[in-house]
Amino acid sequence: MTMRVEWRNGNTSLPTGATALVAFPGVGNVGKVAIDSICELHDSIELARLHPVGLPPHAVLDEDGLLAPPHLSLRSVQTKGDTPLITLTGQAQPNEPSQQSLLANELLSFFENEHLASILVLAGMFDSPENKETFAVASSASFRIDMEALGVDVRRDKPKSGAIGLAALLASSGPLYGINSACIISTTVGNSGDIMSSQRLIEHVEQWFGFGLTVPTNGDEWLREKLQSIAPGTKDDLVKEMTASHDAFYI
């Protein structure tokens, strides 16, 4: 395995049977902002930093003021629910498709060895402003049945053209490693200011799965700060540029 695992804060393993909420910067940054907000609304601790090959070569100052190499962060979130909850996110994902595939396989192998139970990828999907939907897409018939029993709105016809990117590979490949996986999608106009789409994600994840999450009630203020903190400095629509040659959406 080329990915180096740096355990943090005295941890040496993940909670057994945990559910992972996963998101990376993507369409409207909807999923990334939702996970960042969940971590800040609850007591959370960094369990590990994952250092894979292929992340953009951008070292940044961490919360301790130390220069940290590019990495993905795994955090444990303390909630009122009974299911151990962790989050996985980062400032970027590999640019090359082959590196995204490699990293997805390495992450899933790592999660399999750590006895992770399920992966829920949080993402945004382009749609018209008047269409405000949140729904799930499963990667196995058995998990789809389980989610439907919980009242989850599981779709069989969306996204019609599929999805690409690291998050899409994680959402679809879980069953190959004995892990339930699905994508929870919230529609968005696609810009970095669609704060209510991020809030809808958090609301529906809590409504459907009952993790005991605190749902933000002042989205127009709280989530806007999160979006602005990770919004790119350029106005260029990089996601649109990456998907210009096909109609699958990038998550």
Out of 45-49, 125-129, 171-175, which region has the weakest mean confidence (pLDDT)?
125-129
pLDDT at 233 over 80: no
Residue indicated by tokens 């994840």: 205
CATH superfamily of 16-250: PAC-like subunit (3.40.50.10900)
Whole-angstrom distance, CA of residue 7 vs CA of residue 15: 13
Domain residue spans of the chain? 16-250
pTM reported for the whole predicted model: 0.87
Which residues does residue 51 pair with via DSSP β-bridges, in sequence order?
4
Highest average pLDDT, of 26-35, 142-151, 184-193, comes from 142-151
Q: 9-49: per-residue pLDDT in tens?
A: 999 999 999 999 999 988 778 999 999 999 999 999 999 99
Whole-angstrom distance, CA of residue 67 vs CA of residue 64: 9
86 residue type, one letter: I
Residue 227 CA neighbour count, 13 Å, CB half: 22
Model pLDDT, residue 224: 57
Sheet of 118-126, strand order: 4-7, 44-51, 72-77, 85-90, 19-22, 118-126, 180-188, 134-138
CB 70 within 8 A of CB 92: yes
pLDDT at 192 over 80: no
pLDDT at 237 over 50: no
Which residues does residue 181 pair with via DSSP β-bridges, in sequence order?
119
Q: 91-112: per-residue pLDDT in tens?
A: 999 989 999 999 999 999 999 9
Whole-angstrom distance, CA of residue 131 vs CA of residue 128: 5
Q: 200-213: per-residue pLDDT in tens?
A: 999 999 999 999 99
